[in-house]
Amino acid sequence: MSALIWNIASFVVALGILIAVHEFGHFWVARRNGVLVKRFSIGFGKALFRWRDRQGTEFVVAMIPLGGYVRMLDDRFDPVLPQFKDLAFNQKSVRQRMAIIAAGPMANFLFAILVLWLMYMIGVPEARPVIADVRSGSIAASAELDSNQQITAVNGRSSADIRGLSLLLVEQLGRREITLQLEDRSTGQRSERVLDTSGWHFDPDTETIFASLGIELMMPKPLTSIAYIEPASPAELAGLQVGDEITHVADASLESWYQLTEWIQNHPAEPLDIIILRQGQRLPLTVVLGERQTADGFRQGYLGIVPHSSGWPDGIRYTQRHNPLVALKVGAEQTWQLTRLSFSMIGKFIFGDVSVRHLSGPISIAQGAGTTASIGLIAFLTFLALISVNLGVINLLPLPILDGGHLMYMVVELIRGKPVSEKAQEIGFRIGAMVLLLLMGIALLNDISRL
């Protein structure tokens, strides 16, 4: 219950910040263009707090923190005296109205740059993408990748850390070939390998992007001792405890954590005989595994434990810290990469390169907010930057109910010299609302299936 409360609180804080940033963009540019802003609301429904400034704008914090809006004077909906018509949004030029609408998403992108700038001045812990092993028969093995090579670039785009390289690889989903630039850590020799990815499949719910290619990176390895047990999980119901070391599974000696996870995933809802080592004593236990459904619709077993892990290998971890000017440059580059990736993923969803089963909704976002907030400031700031970019990108989609849809109508108005008819706009808004509700429904169902 405490984890649920923490996730919800972190979600509300994160979403509140991002909504406030987005709506402030609209508000600030509207004011600069001489538009009267009647209300600035964070959330919907009953007002919890409200106040007015000297220019008559009502500021509201409402009960349902799942959005917000800026209500501007508009003589299509409000009775406006002739002397105040120049304060109405719809009386402004097309370019002024476009600037006001675009300011919300732009504020999200600028906020991401600001957050990343702060992060890189504080210092961001990173890890170098060095290959520890290559799985036989995999895509990486066919391309003759070898251990102790550091991956330095993907299709000509460089990255010195695992996180950045992961994003570059995700961008390549759907391609038939990927070119990796490598550097041998022992000799410094540089080489290039081409991966045949025509049959590449990646399920982010069950594996990392590297594992899907058959690459194991140098990083802490999971051990066979238990660090955490999920409440009400099969592990807890069977009597497993934190600190237990699993030594045997189904009468076979356990050599690695991966051996255990493979056995568990392949035997959903089946009893599992294990032997554990607890305070020097060997104890036999029988665990009835749980069952979950993957994004592809397959049944998969689960136990509900997290293992202890070994430390990082020497020379892999480092801290990326920069002076203010360099940090600003890196922050802008990272924001552009996230923006590019977000638009790329939307295209992959449309063309079927990525399944809609991987869409995430509010539950996944809340879990992400809670997890990153519990890890520390840098992790939470990274989460804020990522969601801020996603919020900006989504709002630029040409759906009439979103900022991008309004911009689309205004581009048409700019070309035609007259506004799109109100009837056409209303039809567009209804279609946009239906599409958006459909996507939100799919994302919510995906969230529920992952619980």
User: pLDDT per residue over 376-400, tens digit each?
Assistant: 688 888 888 988 998 899 889 888 8
Token code pair at residue 321: 């810290």
Share of the chain above pLDDT 70, in %: 88
The one catalytic residue among 23, 144, 171, 262: 23
Domain that holds residue 269: 222-309
Tell me, yes or no, whether 430 and 450 share the same domain: yes
| Residues 341-362, mean pLDDT to the nearest whole number | 68
Is residue 246 in a domain? Answer: yes
Is residue 88 in a domain? Answer: no
**At 447, is the pLDDT very low, low, confident or very high (cuts 50, 70, 90)?**
very low
Are 25 and 101 within 8 A, CB to CB?
Answer: no
Tell me, yes or no, whether 226 and 213 share the same domain: no
Tell me, yes or no, whether 179 and 255 share the same domain: no
Is residue 197 in a domain? Answer: yes
Q: What is the CATH number of the domain that holds 288?
A: 2.30.42.10
User: What is the end-to-end Cα distance of the chain in Å, rounded?
Assistant: 15
93 contact partners, CB below 8 Å, separation of at least 6: none
23 as an active site residue: the answer is: yes
Tell me, yes or no, whether 208 and 264 share the same domain: no
Tell me, yes or no, whether 376 and 446 share the same domain: yes
**At 204, is the pLDDT very low, low, confident or very high (cuts 50, 70, 90)?**
confident
Tell me, yes or no, whether 171 and 316 share the same domain: yes
- How far apart, in whole angstroms, are the C-alpha atoms of residue 98 and residue 404? 10
Is residue 83 in a domain? Answer: no
Asked which of 21-25, 60-64, 289-293 is least confident by mean pLDDT, the reply is 289-293
Q: How many domains does the chain have?
A: 3
- How far apart, in whole angstroms, are the C-alpha atoms of residue 72 and residue 89? 6
Tell me, yes or no, whether 170 and 226 share the same domain: no
Nearest to 137 by CA among 199, 65, 200, 214: 214
**At 361, is the pLDDT very low, low, confident or very high (cuts 50, 70, 90)?**
very low
Dihedral sign (CA 31, 35, 36, 42): negative
Is residue 10 in a domain? Answer: no
Is residue 154 in a domain? Answer: yes
Asked which of 38-52, 175-189, 296-310 is least confident by mean pLDDT, the reply is 296-310
Tell me, yes or no, whether 146 and 228 share the same domain: no
Is residue 33 in a domain? Answer: no
- How far apart, in whole angstroms, are the C-alpha atoms of residue 238 and residue 260? 16
Tell me, yes or no, whether 300 and 341 share the same domain: no
Tell me, yes or no, whether 185 and 206 share the same domain: yes
Last residue of a domain, one of 254, 283, 309: 309
Is residue 397 in a domain? Answer: yes
Are 29 and 104 within 8 A, CB to CB?
Answer: no
Tell me, yes or no, whether 215 and 245 share the same domain: no
Tell me, yes or no, whether 376 and 267 share the same domain: no
